[in-house]
Amino acid sequence: MWATARTVSLVGAVGHVIEVQVDVSQGVVATSLVGRPDVAINEARDRCRSAVLNSRFTWPSSRRITISLSPADIPKHGPHFDLAIAVGVLAAGDEGFPGRVLDGAVFVGELSLDGRIRCVPGVLPMTMAAAARGIRRVYVPEPQVQEAALVPEMEVCGLRSLAQLVAVLTGREVPEAPPVEPLTGQSLLSWRGEDALAEVDLADVRGMADARYALEVAAAGGHSLMLSGPKGSGKTTLAERLPTLLPDLGADESLEVTAIRSLAGTLPRDAQRLSRPPFRAPHHSATRTAVLGGGTGRVRPGEVSKAHLGVLFLDEFPLFASDIIEALREPLESGQVSVARGEEEATYPARAIVVFACNPCKCGEFAADVVDNHCTCGAAELRHYQNRVSGPVADRVDITRHVDRTPEWQLQDPLEAPEPSAAVRARVTDARARQAARLAGTPWRLNAHVPGPVLSRQWPLPRRASELLNGELAAGRLTRRGATRVHRLAWTVADLRDADLPGVEEVLVALRLRTGQPLQLTALPQPQLRGLPATGTDR
């Protein structure tokens, strides 16, 4: 006798529907589990047997039980296979069990020894994978019903115990069972809250008109940003306000971000779709695994993936471990991060706006002007600190801005009226709408995502603007990668200006954003000019 139940195996952010094929036959009494199971799945034989017996069902102890996880070449991880294994054994061992009810359904959940069901991480991406295979019914732990129900047109059944599952499948009266506890880490993180930065606003930032405009361009086109300057100059203040310039997530984007949170096991208990872009700011002492992803036993997404479609803020960037700094090349270039460990390889999305912040030296007091230079670092220490960020990494950063301390007169100026985040966000939303219309039918959402060859072929610069950019490239002031990034920035500047094509003026602004030169006042939106001195052309 045999039966087949289905569950889902996650390899990175990709879900594979797995058939749990159970054969109960005469032979040497044993329970064999094949199909590349990990330790947690191998232990499922004992967990499932105890759960079945303690739920007052019959385990075929006098038969040979063979459990095959198919396809056999895909690695399987996690205890969420328990529910499918247990119900498969029951269906195969009891001729009266209606095995056909297992068709078209996926079972996800860990079993306790007494038959209760426990929550598992990754229910949302598992349900998404099942829906992609045409499966329209899923059985999950009761607290995770809302999470699975985020997938459209999916019938979700929440369970507390194995006995309840069997009763639902056989049409019997559903017995009572104690409530299921949510995932361990959820309540411990609730003090941080999703609204930790809800009260900040760009209107809090006085002065720094060019840095505020750089934030606007980064938000509109999804460009990475490097902020350098002495301590206390406002780098963190600017970075924390960048998420307030981003529009709400679309339906597909929201599902992506929520699925990553589900994979990490940190989805809020109410399991609502996340509507706002995430903001992550790992400490510079974080490990490579914490930042990029990985882990022992099961690969989990790191901070670069948790910030997907949001903002990743890396403060004191030169103090991060050198291997982390160099490993950021991949997400900056391709928008994804791959984690390889032994025979397992997982790929997670990492399309975030990365904001790097660094001081000019370790003590944060170095200045090019001798009068303002109060640096206490030695020459060797200064060189070592400044060389921490390698050229290939710096070349992948789209925008560079040096931030100086705002003069006291500007902080007290009654005429200074910085724009609020809502006003800037409206321009960013309009610019993104123009990009969405231009990139419709392509796999890219924003200017920063478009590969260089495609950009040059489908959205080239006008002749004069192209000649200007090629001249910078020929003079050696730009690398080929840098020229591509200036091309992308020019399109974003044009989108913010509601221009059909980027011209010479937009390319000049993009070059200054790229190289860190001060922006001309005429390049800034007029509302940002309030409170600035009227003399001069550069800030």
- DSSP code of 404? P
Q: Which of 35, 36, 9 is nearest to 23 (CA)?
A: 35
The reported pLDDT for the residue numbered 524 is 74
Give yes or no for a contact between 201 and 419, defined as CB atoms under 8 angstroms apart. Answer: no
In Å, what is the CA distance from 128 to each residue of 132, 170, 262, 490, 533?
A: 6, 26, 12, 37, 55
pLDDT surpasses 90 at 76: no
Total Cβ atoms within 10 A of residue 173: 5
Q: What is the mean pLDDT of residues 238-250?
A: 94
What mean pLDDT do residues 249-267 have?
87
Retrieve residue 49's tokens.
Answer: 């047997």
Residue 2, SS3? strand
* Contact (Cβ atoms closer than 8 angstroms) between residue 243 and residue 311: yes
How do residues 373-411 score in pLDDT, each as one tens digit? Answer: 677 787 788 788 878 888 889 999 999 999 887 777 666
Share above pLDDT 90 across residues of the chain, in percent, rounded to a whole number: 58
Query: How many residues appear in the chain?
Result: 539
pLDDT value at residue 532: 46
Among residues 483, 473, 528, 477, the alpha carbon closest in space to that of 510 is found at 483
**225-234, 364-373, 442-451: least confident range:** 364-373
Give the helix/strand (H/E) hosting 105. Answer: strand 105-107
Least confident among 5-14, 94-103, 188-197, 377-386: 188-197
Domain 2-170: state its class.
Answer: alpha beta
pLDDT digits (tens, 9 = 90+) for 86-114: 999 999 887 567 667 888 999 999 999 99
Does residue 299 contact residue 338 with C-beta atoms inside 8 Å? no
Closest CA to 79 of 289, 297, 269: 297
The mean-pLDDT minimum among 221-235, 402-416, 431-445 falls in 402-416
Comparing CA positions, the residue from 113, 107, 116 lying closest to residue 48 is 113
Average pLDDT, the chain: 87
The closest of 300, 396, 394 to 339, measured between CA atoms, is: 300
pLDDT at position 486, please?
Answer: 97
Q: How far is CA 433 from the centre of its chain?
A: 22
Domain spans, the chain: 2-170, 194-223+402-539
Q: ∠ at Cα 274 (178, 283), nearest 5°?
A: 95
Q: Is 156 helix (H, G, I), strand (E, B) or coil?
A: strand
Query: Which is more confidently placed, 528 or 490?
Result: 490
- CA 322, CA 486: separation in Å to the nearest integer? 27
| pLDDT of amino acid 535 | 38
pLDDT band at 278 (very low <50, low <70, confident <90, very high): very high
Q: What is the DSSP letter of 152?
A: T
pTM given for the model:
0.85
